[in-house]
Amino acid sequence: MYSKVSDFLHQWKYESAGTLKLFGMMSDEMLDKKIHERIRSAGFLSWHITHTVKEMMEKTGLKIEGKDQQDYSGETVKEICDCYKQSSESLVRELANWKDEDLLVETEMYGEKWKRGVTLDILIKHQAHHRGQLEIVMRYYGLKVTSVYGPAFEEWATYGMEAMK
């Protein structure tokens, strides 16, 4: 749980930059493709990450800019990136109105009561979770992925190390 708005904003800057970088490595051609009936498409995953910024944070009373569209419907990589960036920047602007004590306010979230500081924490974890799923789909299609918490396979050499097998 976050207890300081500034701590979340610092982490969000890093997380949202990593998400945008990963989205930018996708291709329009692979967005709709499904590698398995039980594995979500890259279009679904990237749109779900994008939509959740608006959907989840509006439950806390914030007004987040972006498409009010739950499901992926054929957007391009550029459109996904643009919408994610718009919602992310809107979130940062809206949080400028919160004080640290506002993070203790409870709101209704998916049938439960969450403190706003918990909601911010879950937003980041939710995004990281689906970014990991997206990376697997991207790897399946032969695309490179970016590092967020450590080097990607292709980046080990830049650290003077041999990639793990």
pTM equals: 0.92
What gap in Å lies between CA 100 and CA 5, rounded to an integer?
6
Pick the more confident residue, 142 or 123: 123
How high is the pLDDT of residue 37?
Answer: 86
Tokens (6 digits) for 72? 């992926």
Residue 35 has pLDDT above 90, yes or no: no
Residue 159 has pLDDT above 90, yes or no: no
43 CB neighbour count, 10 Å cutoff: 25
5-159, what's its fold? Four Helix Bundle (Hemerythrin (Met), subunit A) (1.20.120)
Strand partners, 106: 115
How high is the pLDDT of residue 69?
Answer: 84
What gap in Å lies between CA 81 and CA 24, rounded to an integer?
7
Spans of all domains in the chain: 5-159
How high is the pLDDT of residue 55?
Answer: 96
| Averaged pLDDT score across all residues of the chain | 93
- Residue 161's SS3 state is coil
How high is the pLDDT of residue 111?
Answer: 95
